[in-house]
Amino acid sequence: MGPSKADRILDFDTLSKYMSFPTSVIILLTRRSLNRDITVGNTLFGLVSLASPILVVDRPRSIAIGTPVSLEAAASRLEDVTIFQENAVHSKTAQAGGVVADGTGVQAGADAKAIEEPQKEAPSIEAFDKFLEEYVTPFVEISDKIDPLVAEQAKLFEKALLEERKFLQAASKSAPVDASSPVFQSALAPINEVIVKAVEVKDANRTSKFFNNLNAVAEGIPALGWICVTTPVSYIPDYKDSAQFWSNRILKEYKESDPNQVKWATTFIRIFDGLKNYVKEFHTTGPSWNAQGGSFEENLAKASSSAAPAVPSPPPTPVSGAGGPPPPPPPPPASVFEAKEEQQPTGMNAVFSELNKGENITAGLKKVDKSQMTHKNPELRASSAVPAKKTVPVPPKKPASLSEKSPKEKKPPKKELVDNKWMVANFENESDIITIDGDMQQSIFIANCASSIIQIKGKVNAITLNECTKVGLVVEKAISGIDVIKSRNFEVQVTDSVPMISIDQSESGSLYLSASSLDTEVFTSSTTSLNINVPESDDMKELAVPEQFKHTVKNGKLISTIVEHAG
């Protein structure tokens, strides 16, 4: 049966303006279209009731509602309409669930399987997220209260840890990868890039008021490189000690004036303790891998894409030749506009120039009148214009080379091991920490250094700091002790223990003792402005070394006591 003549043909483009589906048309049947032929493309449909009033047709070219048909003809086509509707509904349901529907329909259970449940993270990743929330988030929040520069560097510190999380997440799902492989090295690149940026913040702002904060983060952030070593638990404390050297300065400076700075210093140092505990529990010998896991490179790409933040697009680059005047040419050299002054001869050249004038040599002389001649005018001789006695010439001064000491020649810095003695000398304004790895048979001699930091790792025999200014010394262990001689504005920090510290002819020094070095004996002579800092809960307590003594003679003996000032 061919299509009947339509009363009206509705174009698909016209209908789509009023429909919410660009690829389908929903036909709502009303009493006006009841018992009429409906032609869709080349297919003729007929409906006899409103029991199923909605017809969904995919991509029809045209729709026509024709003349009334008989009850038998409409009933014969009702089954076709029902099948068409069911197929259309199943197709839409499958597409919504992420499954491509074929023309024959989809099973109802496919929709539920199309939505996958999110995979549960490994316990090590869940613990790392807890570590970030407990230790790192408070540090970023308190940094916002200090200074924008400090906040910027703190966010870089957090970003480096987030990049490290991607690495650990991929490792937990991957088979082991050798640390020397290109895949492993490329995975470290994002972490290293953020670490470099954090250090650059410190280097670019050396005159900042908050340089101690910037230095603390810059010295501590390399601890995130624990994923590259096989003994990460002992790797982290080394960088904690370097960072704590600067955090102790913050505690000392702002102890009474700024509680936010005190909280910042303690919160930052706590991060290293939390990181060490986390690594000790899950990554004792390096990052934990999954022996039955897949490709590390693929899992890392998935972790990076799922957690990659949206990066704003850069502003468009201006197109050359888009209009506007060209920049002005550079100004010509100054010598073009400046008139050169005629140089007058000096020295022996001036003498020969005068002699070469010949008869004109007297042209510049002034004629003297008789009234101005002293030998012809007695009044001038009697006046004070002519002195009665000749003035005694002033003896010449001694040459500067004889009266003043010549400045010392600046020697090149050196750090070398001679037999069993390390020689560290002539370092000045050194930006990086000077590190020495010593052993029990070696002694350290440091001389003529200024504005530098020296760190002694390991257990050494003895350490001497001689004639140094503004030098920070970080010591782990010493068998004999530490000697400080003729030094000014120095700082000595003991992270483990030393039996004795001797300070002679020095001034303005600070000693920082750890909890395990409180039994250290300190000897001072001819020393002023020395303070000893000891740990007290989360802070450092400063103790001043006495400088004033009272001496009395009793029974032929000299008795000395410390003068205490009450008030």
pLDDT of residue 374: 73
Check residue 447 and report its DSSP letter.
E
State the Rg of the chain over Cα: 45
- Please give the backbone phi and psi of residue 34, each rounded to the nearest 5 degrees, phi first: -65, 140
User: Could you read off the pLDDT tens digit of each residue along the chain, which spans 567 residues?
Assistant: 444 444 444 444 444 444 444 444 444 444 444 445 555 544 444 443 444 444 444 444 444 444 444 445 555 555 555 555 555 555 545 454 444 444 444 444 444 444 445 567 889 999 999 999 999 999 999 999 999 999 999 999 999 999 999 999 999 999 998 888 888 988 999 999 999 999 999 999 989 999 999 999 999 999 999 999 999 999 999 899 999 999 999 999 998 899 999 999 999 999 999 999 999 999 999 999 998 888 888 888 888 876 544 434 444 444 444 445 555 555 544 443 444 455 566 656 666 666 666 666 666 677 777 777 777 777 766 665 555 555 666 676 666 555 555 556 788 999 999 889 999 999 999 988 999 999 999 999 999 999 999 999 999 999 999 999 999 999 999 999 999 999 999 999 999 999 999 999 999 999 999 989 999 999 999 999 999 999 988 788 999 999 888 899 999 999 989 887 665
Residues 73 and 148 in one domain: no
The answer to whether the beta carbons of residues 540 and 533 sit under 8 Å apart is yes
Residues 209 and 245 in one domain: yes
pLDDT of residue 563: 84
CATH number at residue 483: 2.160.20.70
Residues 548 and 510 in one domain: yes
Decide if 367 is inside a domain: no
Q: How big is the chain, counted in residues?
A: 567
pLDDT of residue 408: 64
Residues 167, 170, 171, CA angle at the centre, nearest 5°? 85
Q: What is the C-alpha to C-alpha distance for residues 76 and 327, in angstroms, rounded to an integer?
A: 84
The tokens of 555 are what? Answer: 């029974």
Three-state DSSP string of 127-165? HHHHHHHHHHHHHHHHHHCCCHHHHHHHHHHHHHHHHHH
pLDDT of residue 513: 94
Q: What is the C-alpha to C-alpha distance for residues 21 and 475, in angstroms, rounded to an integer?
A: 75
Query: Judging by beta carbons within 10 Å of its beta carbon (0-12, 13-18, 19+), is residue 563 exposed, middle or buried?
Result: exposed
Residues 46 and 128 in one domain: no
pLDDT of residue 249: 92
Domain boundary among 276, 303, 330: 303
Q: What is the C-alpha to C-alpha distance for residues 523 and 273, in angstroms, rounded to an integer?
A: 33
Residue 191: CB atoms within 10 A of its CB come to: 22
Residues 423 and 294 in one domain: no
Q: How far apart are the first and last CA of the chain?
A: 118
- pTM recorded for the entire structure: 0.48
- Say how many domains are in the chain: 3
Residues 99 and 132 in one domain: no
Strand partners for 466: 447, 485
Lookup result for tokens 């250290």: 520
The answer to whether the beta carbons of residues 254 and 227 sit under 8 Å apart is no
Residue 85: CB atoms within 10 A of its CB come to: 15
Q: What is the C-alpha to C-alpha distance for residues 259 and 251, in angstroms, rounded to an integer?
A: 9
Domain boundary among 252, 278, 303: 303
Q: What is the C-alpha to C-alpha distance for residues 202 and 456, in angstroms, rounded to an integer?
A: 23
- Please give the backbone phi and psi of residue 297, each rounded to the nearest 5 degrees, phi first: -65, -45
Q: What is the C-alpha to C-alpha distance for residues 250 and 248, in angstroms, rounded to an integer?
A: 5
Find the domain containing 518 and state its range: 414-562
Domain boundary among 273, 303, 333: 303
Decide if 177 is inside a domain: yes
DSSP string, 335-363: HHHSPPPPPPP-THHHHHHHHTTGGGGGT
pLDDT of residue 401: 53
